[in-house]
Amino acid sequence: MTLLDAHGLHKSFGPIPALRGIDLEVAAGEVLAVMGPSGSGKSTLLYCLAGILTPDAGEVTFDGRRVDLMPDAERARLRRTQCGFVFQFGQLVPELPVRENIALPLLLAGQRRRPALATAASWEERLGLHGCADRLPGEISGGQAQRVALARALIASPRVVFADEPTGSLDSVAADEVMELLVTTAKSCEVSVVLVTHEPRVAAYADRQVTVRDGTTAPAAVTS
């Protein structure tokens, strides 16, 4: 079943075109790697799929609903309830300890503090964050910070996780650990993943690869 469907996406920033008519489908439960060099349009594509940016032309459909036609408040609600996000540098809240960073999506959704923190504790256990609960983001390693970001992305049971260069700030050992956790955890939770990367080693963890170059897509490759 197709979860995300994009047709004819165009997006420009001033006179500079970033997307030039991209078509893309993401199946439910699929891990898709979007590859390409810096400036190719791959991050712009991810932000349009996630409803962070609105395309200048074309359509984005999430589970049969037109994301590009939604008002801002509805798109924000969709991202909060159906989407998780992992970025290159984690974007954790520096003043909050690890457990509260993980629980943040539940707390923002109105869940009571005690059960939200209990759920966060279970994700710490699941992602190997033993002993990190009370530490601040500045007191843990880059690999641990990305595990925290991954737990935060998955804690609210999203339908899709958008990961923009999630290993870009990590060494190869930590990158492999994070990607293994991302893919295996997403598969066990039946969550789709749209992964933006320029690293073939990282893209190899995906079910399928699409290359974006100069705002258009090249043929996909199946990797598993």
Surface-to-core class of residue 70, CB atoms within 10 Å of its CB (0-12 exposed, 13-18 middle, 19+ buried) = middle
CA distance 164 to 192: 14
Among candidate residues 89, 90, 81, 20, the one with its CA nearest the CA of residue 48: 20
Q: What angle do CA 157, 117, 154 make, to 5 degrees?
A: 20
pLDDT for 169 equals 80
Among candidate residues 153, 219, 200, 190, the one with its CA nearest the CA of residue 31: 190
pLDDT for 118 equals 97
* Residue 4 tokens, joined: 């995300």
Read off the pLDDT of residues 18-75 as tens digits, 9 standing for 90 and up: 999 999 999 999 999 999 888 889 999 999 999 999 999 999 999 999 999 999 999 9
Read off the pLDDT of residues 128-165 as tens digits, 9 standing for 90 and up: 899 999 999 999 998 999 999 999 999 999 999 999 98
Q: 72 versus 87: which is more confidently predicted? A: 72
Overall fold of domain 2-95+162-222: Rossmann fold (3.40.50)
* Residue 32 tokens, joined: 């898709």
pLDDT for 88 equals 76
Q: Is residue 203 scored above 90 in pLDDT?
A: yes
In one-letter notation, the amino acid at residue 186 is: A
Listed by start position, the domains of the chain span: 2-95+162-222
